[in-house]
Amino acid sequence: MTPEYAAAALLWLAGALVLTWCTGTLGRRAAWLALAVFLAFTLVFDAVLTGLPIVTYGATTALGIRLGPIPVEDLVYGAALCLTALGAFDLGRGRRRGRG
């Protein structure tokens, strides 16, 4: 059985990768820089939130793989969220310019 949070995060990441690939976002250096900055902040704030512990996860909802106190699913989810926002922005920008 796949933990729910892990499955949802991986499914969203797959969709975000398709979106960003189709819009050409993945080919832009600025998108990779934005993703790196976003994940750096995610690491810092997740370490605080899960380390104190302000936020906790049930054993059956996550894979159990952690980077310190941070479940790996949080990073996957964060990457998917950031890529979705970047891809949606590029998709909307292309439509306004008549490219889509």
20 domain residue, yes or no: yes
- Per-residue pLDDT of 29-62, as tens digits, reads 999 999 999 999 999 999 999 889 898 877 777 7
39 domain residue, yes or no: yes
86 domain residue, yes or no: yes
d(CA 1, CA 81): 24
pLDDT for 1 equals 43
100 domain residue, yes or no: no
- Per-residue pLDDT of 49-58, as tens digits, reads 988 989 887 7
d(CA 55, CA 34): 25
60 domain residue, yes or no: yes
75 domain residue, yes or no: yes
pLDDT for 14 equals 98
62 domain residue, yes or no: yes
Paired tokens of 72: 């790996």
What predicted TM-score, i.e. pTM, was given to this entire model? 0.83
Q: Specify whether the CB–CB gap between 42 and 78 falls below 8 A.
A: yes
- Domain span at residue 66 reads 4-95
Q: What's the total number of domains in the chain?
A: 1
